[in-house]
Amino acid sequence: MQREVQRVRAAFGSGRSRALAFRRRQLEALRAMVQERERDILAALAADLSRSELNGYSQEVITVLMEIDLVLERLPEWAAAKPAQKNLLTMLDEAYIQPEPLGVVLIIGAWNYPFLLIIQPLIGAIAAGNAAIVKPSEVSENTAKVLTKLLPQYLDQDLYAVVNGGVEETTELLKQRFDHILYTGNAAVGKVVMEAAAKHLTPVTLELGGKSPCYVDRDCDLDVACRRIAWGKYMNCGQMCIAPDYVLCEPSLQDAIVQKVKEAVKEFYGENIKESPDYERIINLRHFKRLRGLLEGQKIAFGGEMDEATRYIAPTILTDVDPETKVMQEEIFGPILPIVPVQSAEAATRFINEREKPLTLYVFSRNSKLIKQMIDGTSSGGVVGNDVIMHFTLSSLPFGGVGSSGMGAYHGKYSFDTFSHQRPCLLKSLRGESVNKLRYPPNSQSKVDWAKLLVLKRFSRGKLSLLLLALLGVVVAVLIKACYH
Amino acid sequence: MDPFADTLQRLREAFSSGRTRPAEFRAAQLEGLSRFLQENKQLLQEALAQDLHKSVFESEVSEISISQNEINLALRDLRAWMKDEKVPKNLATQLDSAFIRKEPFGLVLIIAPWNYPLNLTLTPLVGALAAGNCVVLKPSEISKNTEKILAEVLPRYLDQSCFAVVLGGPQETGQLLEHKFDYIFFTGSPRVGKIVMAAAAKHLTPVTLELGGKNPCYVDDNCDPQTVANRVAFFRYFNTGQTCVAPDYVLCSPEMQARLLPALQSAITRFYGEDPQSSPDLGRIINEKNFQRLRGLLSCGRVAIGGQSDESDRYIAPTVLVDVQETEPVMQEEIFGPILPIVNVRSLDEAIAFITRREKPLALYAFSNSSQVVKQILAQTSSGGFCGNDGFMHLTVASLPFGGVGASGMGSYHGKFSFDTFSHHRACLLRRPGLEKIYALRYPPHTPRNLRVLLMAMETRCCSCTLL
């Protein structure tokens, strides 16, 4: 592990990854990899998650391609120095913020979108000029294998490396020193990652999860709402960090919701859901058993069918769910939708606030005032009103959590910024030294007054223009003097 | 017995009540801070003089005015900062409302250091309050006199249901850190920074760590030695060297060193007189422990200028050391005192290699008439911030973020960066229930045709070019 990290660090030390042209070439190579080896990638996703090729393409591959295109287009702009607004003391100087690479970035992926959650951060890391080590999830084995095989074939082998393994290997990896760690996964491991990072003062971006609540208001288009909720809930068999985890609604709405979700499910997956190529499977037996356990003692209004051999769990809805039961204690990450009845939007807000801050809040209502109230009254990584998931696809929005759902954000320019150090630079000249006499000891009251005036920006217009003129006069005089010196 | 539980509970409840959200409340807090500074200026100057022997000039420039400036800026721009930030949309979201909402995190902990006990407490506090958080402040117990004012006088100017000062040393701070906060802002040493981050990890609390390191100061052969000496001396001995961004050591050629030494002596004499100990403009070491530590460093290399010390006064003369080895203690730890070692290098490349071998510093300085030289160092190194041909002036520019990288820290603040640091940037997408026929394209069962249309809709660039 140590040697691998050292090798990558040495490659970064060569300075090779900094030139914009180099970064472009790597990103173009990554794009070529995705386009040329699409089959292999989709086959791996199918093997890991039983995801159809079409879905694999639309959910993971296309997002990656779009991200690369965006970055290639905007990279010169993002990487350029940004001039900063100067004050009186620095009027004649050059002041700007220069984005710089951090060094060696570690990206730890998750198994639910095993390709996307490695490549999307990697795009940002490369764009920002870093070297990177990626650690795909060992749970999604096939994708890990494909990444291990393909990345070295297309990318610079010394700057970008793939490391594989389980808990033991990851623990070993985390002992090494990195310049930024981006981790996608659960809160428990997130804490372990941050603790390990603390030993080296490594900044982290933690993309965690939680239970994303979905409030359905009395005043909403229930047909549309249920369709959208069903789409977001059962996509990838519920194994999505931004899936609507549970529904909150008034008791009178429960039956209608169940009915309409049922209809949507039929529309999406047909009569025989098991046969639908668009319906995925649970990643492994451990999670299958975990999800099965969540159904114990619950009122199954719809679904509930399971097949251990294929790790199939039908789209399921639970009603009148007791908040104290297991299904409401952990992030579900499966195709089970509990409905928890609440008396009102206020009650829903209280319910949400009694719990950890979620990754996403969903609110369905025609009443925009109500939506606004719920947003104002809660906190979450992100919010979507009247739909689910879509905020993920808009790269101008930062994607990340808050509280136990995570820290930091990425996507689009946010990835670039996450993996950069924004370095403030002030370039002065050695001339004009006489002006500096104002600041040097021995001090006097007049120096104090001058200093105060120059540091503070607030004074009346009249005085300001007069002062500026006077100062400009002084500066010009001094410069002329210095030039002729 | 948990001495903090009640206070934290009280603050959390106040935050939940929503009291800190309205702009009016936040502005009132900032105005309170402003009045605190203005009404207690004399008191604060005395405290700073007692703690660090700070001159009126230094107190004014580096503690009071600079804090006032941050308050003024926040008051002026608060509403603009608080506004939802609209973001560009793609075709699929054209009719929606997409924006970033800046929200307070909740309960913020600010741990402040002793070297600029007023500035490094108030400046983060301005950001935390402007962003709508409730704040627990842990001022440094080492700068005792300033701590007293912060604990006893400051709260009177703020809404005490949303603000509390907590006192204590390392043990109490450790206890405090066991609690959950929604954000922790720490200024101090890397060693303690690690402890803070590890404690924060247990609660998944995001942090900003303003740490330190050894700030290199490269002096090129091509420059005017006196000008350089003035500037380096000024920033090195300011606050008796107890500044996280002070030039820590000089890198230059032996030839340059020969020219620099008399120039440094001249600057020091001009600034502090023949007997610096009697100059009102030179401060003192904060406490006995640091004094002893610094006195120990005086035996490294050879004293070229200064070297005197007086334990009864915690006085250390402005000192320059030469013939210093990289392995000696003075080159191993952040000096944080009025001692300037000069290390010889034979070329710019050697200087850059020296710098890049070591931990990334908080600040990096390069002096040269040649802007090419300055830019080369800038390009081939990394540091929190950089200033060419001067000392830490970059932190007076509020539009520049102030923070470290690597071992010198993570995150940044000052001006708007403070507000952003203490805010959660919440991505919001508000859609309409209509247009369902179009959205139906995204639902299963999936076909290649649907996919094609979907892809077009998700294209980010489409709104500007493909429609034309």
Spatial contact of B287 and B314, defined as CB atoms under 8 Å apart: yes
Distance from CA of A416 to the nearest CA of B (A): 15
Q: Where are the alpha helices (DSSP H) in A155-186?
A: 167-175
Look at residue B446 in the predicted model and tell me its pLDDT.
86
The verdict on a CB contact (< 8 Å) between A383 and B424 is no
Structure tokens at B295: 């006195």
Name which of B360, B294, B168 is nearest A202 in CA terms.
B360
- Residue B210 designated active-site: yes
Would an 8 Å CB–CB cutoff place A190 in contact with chain B?
Answer: yes
Look at residue A463 in the predicted model and tell me its pLDDT.
56
Q: Pick A457's closest partner by Cβ from B69, B103, B428.
A: B69
Q: How far apart are CA B104 and CA B86, in angstroms?
A: 18
Would an 8 Å CB–CB cutoff place A178 in contact with chain B?
Answer: no
Higher pLDDT, B359 or A481: B359
Per-residue model confidence as pLDDT tens digits over B197-237: 999 999 999 999 999 999 999 999 999 999 999 999 999 99
Distance from CA of A297 to the nearest CA of B (A): 31
Per-residue model confidence as pLDDT tens digits over A301-345: 999 999 999 999 999 999 999 999 999 999 999 999 999 999 999
Q: How far apart are CA B68 and CA B265, in angstroms?
A: 35
- What whole-number percentage of chain A has pLDDT above 90? 85
| Element of type H or E holding B150 | helix B144-152
Look at residue B338 in the predicted model and tell me its pLDDT.
98
Name which of B152, B108, B150 is nearest B127 in CA terms.
B108
Higher pLDDT, A403 or A448: A403
User: What's the whole-number average pLDDT of chain B?
Assistant: 94
**What is the pTM assigned to this prediction?**
0.95
Chain B residue nearest residue A363, CA to CA: B430
Spell out, as residue ranges, where chain B has pLDDT lower than 70: 457-468
Q: How far apart are CA A466 and CA A235, in angstroms?
A: 66
Judged against a pLDDT cut of 90, whether residue A464 lies above it is answered with no
> What single string gives the DSSP state of each residue in A342-367?
-SSHHHHHHHHHTSPPPSEEEEE-S-
**Helices and strands (H and E) in chain B: how many:** 17, 18
Mutation target to probe the A interface, by most A beta carbons within 10 A, among B219, B426, B463 is B426
Spatial contact of B425 and B131, defined as CB atoms under 8 Å apart: no
Q: Pick A456's closest partner by Cβ from B65, B226, B227.
A: B65
Sign of the CA dihedral A236, A242, A245, A251? negative
Would an 8 Å CB–CB cutoff place B222 in contact with chain A?
Answer: no
Residue window 301-360, chain A: list those with CB within 8 Å of chain B.
353
Higher pLDDT, A88 or A297: A297
Q: How far apart are CA B191 and CA A199, in angstroms?
A: 9
Residue window 368-407, chain A: list those with CB within 8 Å of chain B.
368, 371, 375-377, 379-387, 390-391, 393-399, 402-404, 406-407
Judged against a pLDDT cut of 60, whether residue A462 lies above it is answered with no
Per-residue model confidence as pLDDT tens digits over A182-228: 999 999 999 999 999 999 999 999 999 999 999 999 999 999 999 99
Catalytic member of B210, B223, B359, B387: B210
pLDDT-derived band at A450, boundaries 50, 70, 90 = confident
Name which of A141, A147, A69, A138 is nearest A115 in CA terms.
A147
Look at residue B192 in the predicted model and tell me its pLDDT.
98
Judged against a pLDDT cut of 90, whether residue A454 lies above it is answered with no
Residue window 106-125, chain B: list those with CB within 8 Å of chain A.
106
Distance from CA of B387 to the nearest CA of A (A): 5
Per-residue model confidence as pLDDT tens digits over A336-393: 999 999 999 999 999 999 999 999 999 999 999 999 999 999 999 999 999 999 999 9
Mutation target to probe the B interface, by most B beta carbons within 10 A, among A425, A437, A445, A478 is A425
Look at residue B459 in the predicted model and tell me its pLDDT.
59
Look at residue A459 in the predicted model and tell me its pLDDT.
39
Per-residue model confidence as pLDDT tens digits over B39-90: 999 999 999 999 999 999 999 999 999 999 999 999 999 999 999 999 999 8
User: What's the whole-number average pLDDT of chain A?
Assistant: 94
Look at residue A465 in the predicted model and tell me its pLDDT.
62
Look at residue A91 in the predicted model and tell me its pLDDT.
81
Spatial contact of B152 and B174, defined as CB atoms under 8 Å apart: no
Q: Pick B204's closest partner by Cβ from A194, A371, A455.
A: A194
